[in-house]
Structures are given as structure tokens and as C-alpha cells.
């Protein structure tokens, strides 16, 4: 470090002396001396940065880039060295690959990066990488299937909707593709559409005998049919919410279900609507169940939160008391009343 600093100071001193000499003697520095001085200053500055100004993590980054360069290049070219990849931490390899893909994007590279993020449970990054792969080859099957899979794995409503649309297109092109049929069932089941899930997995089951895959599908189908039966029992559960005259309509209403005795945590099911007027009846649909649908003999309670500002956080609004879900006429239902405006939880 001391040597590099000395070189930097020396080069700067030489530059200063030459400029002073030029001013005093009226001499003109030719292009060669000027170029030599400029190169000397640049070299000394680079050496000074290398020893003084460089960030502490640069050595590690440069070492990693050099160590993984050939492996990253092989992945981008679609010819990965799997033995070499096994010895590299997945996070380091993903970062190196992502940096290089900015410069040399390939469908193989983005596809591999999506797989890496999927393995590291980075669903958002996996979706982004899979989209890049699809954008480079929109008609290729593997990137489209991968995008559908990481969308399903992400688990949120918008992603499931997109995944189901993408899978519908894939079934049109590849009606007997087992991966597409499996993902179709998974997406439908997670979306609460057990009928569609059963249809997809029954079609897949027909392609297998008594092998391990067939037995696994039998278990999955039995589980789906049980959930379907439970959902059928709680089908079209209705919660009617009333409010006193001083509660202004037009705001956000959040209706939820819980097991009896539970006062906190994630509800069993929930639905958010705009309450244009009171009373308002909210129907809990298949996609509103956030947890496993309870058995027919379970005792559920319903509750509601309300803010008179559309789109606002209902946590600060008024809350109704919890009331049991009844089944007087065969349809599960509950009727509850919000407290007066400005009051907290009852």
C-alpha cells in the first residue's frame, strides 16, 4: 500500500514540475511528453485506487467472477458443467450468472437462473427470470412450463390466475403433456377449483398403472374429493352485514370466518368488498378459503371489519362481534351488525 501511494505522489509531482517548467520557460510540452505524463498519472491513480480506494468486497467479487466465469459461460451456452456447478454455492452462481445475462442474454441462461431461484425459494426472482426466458423464445415449451410452475408456487391470487391462463394455452398445444396436466391440477386446487383439479388429475391418472406415480395420484385425488365434499357443505356461505344509520356506506368491508374459540391469526376464509349500501350480503366462494375447508361438523363464527373510506385499511375501522354460522334452511349463513361509527371493537 505504501509503495502504491508513493508512486501516485511521484507521478503527481512530475506532472506539477513539468507544468511549472512550461510556465517559467515558455516552453511547449510536445504530445509525447504530455501523453507519457498522462499515462503515468493514470497508472499511478489506478494503483492508488487498487491499494487505497477499492471497496473491501471487490477482491471477493473479482475472485468469484474469475472462478465462475467458465461455468457461467457454459450455462449461458446451454452446455452446463454439472460437476463444476455442484461445487459452487448456489447463491454465488446465481449472482454471477445474472450479471452476465445482462450482457449476453440467452434463453438457456435465464431458464437456468429461474431454476436456481426456484430452488432457493426466491419465487419473485424465479418468475422474473422465467419471463425473460419466455420472452426470448415465446413458443418454446420448457420456459412456458417453468413460468407456469413458478407462478403456481408463488401462491398469490394474481399469479394463480395468470398460471391457469398460461396452462390453458399449453393444454391446447400439448393436451397430453404430463407436466402440464399436473400443474393444471395444482393451480386449480390452490385456487379452490376442485372440480377442475380432479378432471386434470384423473386424466393424468389414466396414463399410469399401479406404479408409484399412479399411487401418488390416487392419494391426491382422494384428498381433492374430500375437500370438494367439505366445500360442498359450506358452499355459498352467506354473511349479511347490517349497520346503524351513522355508518356511511361506500367503504371497504372485510368479512371473515374463524373456528369457534379462535380470536386471532389467519382466518379460515375472508372476502373484501365495497359496501355500496347496508345491509349487504357477502357470499364466501371457493377461492376465498385461505386454509383447509373444515369438516361438516365444525363450528364456525363470522365477523366483519369496515372502513368508510374505499380501499382503506380496515384494521382501524369498526369491528363487529363474532357470531355463529347457522344452517337453518340448509344454507350456511350468519347475520351480524357493525357498531356505531367511531366505536372500537365491541
Taking only the tens place, the pLDDT of each residue in 309-325 is: 887 778 878 999 999 99
How is domain 237-337 classified at the CATH fold level? Immunoglobulin-like (2.60.40)
pLDDT at 11: 47
* DSSP string for residues in 76-119: HTT---HHHHTTS-HHHHHHHHHHHHHHS--HHHHHHHHHHHHH
How is domain 124-231 classified at the CATH fold level? 1.25.40
Taking only the tens place, the pLDDT of each residue in 112-169 is: 999 999 999 899 999 999 999 999 999 999 999 999 999 999 877 789 999 999 999 9
Mean pLDDT of 91-114: 94
> So where are the chain's domains?
2-54, 124-231, 237-337
pLDDT at 306: 94
pLDDT at 136: 97
pLDDT at 44: 47
Taking only the tens place, the pLDDT of each residue in 183-230 is: 999 999 988 889 999 999 999 999 998 899 999 999 999 999 998 888
Tracing cell 357493525 back to the chain, one arrives at 338
* DSSP string for residues in 268-321: SEEEEEE--SSSEEEEE-GGGB-SPPPPTT--EEEEEEEESSTT--GGGSEEPP
Percent of the chain with pLDDT over 70: 79
| pTM of the complete model | 0.66
pLDDT at 267: 95
Taking only the tens place, the pLDDT of each residue in 248-266 is: 999 999 999 999 998 888 9
Mean pLDDT of 67-94: 87
Interatomic CA distance for residues 153 and 118, integer angstroms: 9
Q: Which of 53-57, 84-88, 192-196 has the lowest mean pLDDT?
A: 53-57
With a CB cutoff of 8 Å and minimum separation 6, the contacts of 233 are 296, 332
Amino acid at each position: 500500500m505504501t509503495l502504491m501511494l508513493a508512486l501516485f505522489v511521484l507521478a503527481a509531482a512530475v506532472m506539477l514540475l513539468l507544468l511549472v517548467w512550461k510556465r517559467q520557460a515558455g516552453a511547449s510540452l510536445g504530445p509525447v511528453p504530455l501523453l507519457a505524463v498522462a499515462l503515468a498519472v493514470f497508472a499511478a491513480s489506478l494503483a492508488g485506487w487498487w491499494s487505497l480506494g477499492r471497496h473491501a468486497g471487490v477482491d471477493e467479487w473479482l475472485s468469484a467472477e474469475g472462478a465462475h466465469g467458465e461455468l457461467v459461460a457454459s450455462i449461458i451456452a446451454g452446455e452446463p458443467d454439472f460437476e463444476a456447478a455442484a461445487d459452487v454455492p448456489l447463491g454465488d452462481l446465481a449472482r454471477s450468472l445474472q450479471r452476465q445475462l445482462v450482457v449476453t442474454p440467452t434463453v438457456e441462461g435465464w431458464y437456468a437462473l429461474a431454476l436456481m431461484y426456484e430452488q432457493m425459494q426466491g419465487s419473485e426472482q424465479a418468475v422474473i427470470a422465467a419471463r425473460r426466458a419466455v420472452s426470448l423464445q415465446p413458443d418454446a415449451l420448457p420456459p412456458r412450463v417453468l413460468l407456469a410452475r413458478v407462478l403456481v408456487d408463488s401462491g398469490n391470487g394474481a399469479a394463480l390466475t395468470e398460471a391457469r391462463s398460461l396452462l390453458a394455452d399449453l393444454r391446447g398445444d400439448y393436451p397430453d403433456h404430463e407436466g402440464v396436466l399436473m400443474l393444471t391440477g395444482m393451480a386449480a386446487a390452490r385456487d379452490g377449483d376442485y372440480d377442475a383439479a380432479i378432471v386434470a388429475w384423473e386424466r393424468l391418472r389414466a396414463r399410469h398403472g399401479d406404479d408409484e406415480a399412479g399411487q401418488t395420484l390416487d392419494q391426491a385425488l382422494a384428498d381433492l374429493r374430500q375437500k370438494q365434499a367439505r366445500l360442498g357443505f359450506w358452499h355459498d356461505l352467506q354473511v349479511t352485514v347490517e349497520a346503524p344509520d351513522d355508518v356511511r356506506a361506500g367503504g371497504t368491508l372485510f368479512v371473515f370466518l374463524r373456528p369457534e374459540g379462535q380470536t386471532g391469526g389467519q382466518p379460515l376464509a375472508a372476502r373484501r368488498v365495497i359496501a355500496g349500501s347496508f345491509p349487504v350480503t357477502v357470499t364466501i366462494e371457493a377461492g376465498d378459503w385461505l386454509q383447509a375447508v373444515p369438516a361438516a361438523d365444525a363450528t364456525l363464527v363470522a365477523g366483519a371489519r369496515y372502513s368508510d373510506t374505499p380501499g382503506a385499511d380496515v384494521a382501524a375501522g369498526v369491528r363487529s362481534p363474532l357470531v355463529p354460522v347457522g344452517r337453518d334452511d340448509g344454507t350456511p349463513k350468519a347475520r351480524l351488525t357493525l357498531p356505531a361509527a367511531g366505536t372500537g371493537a365491541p
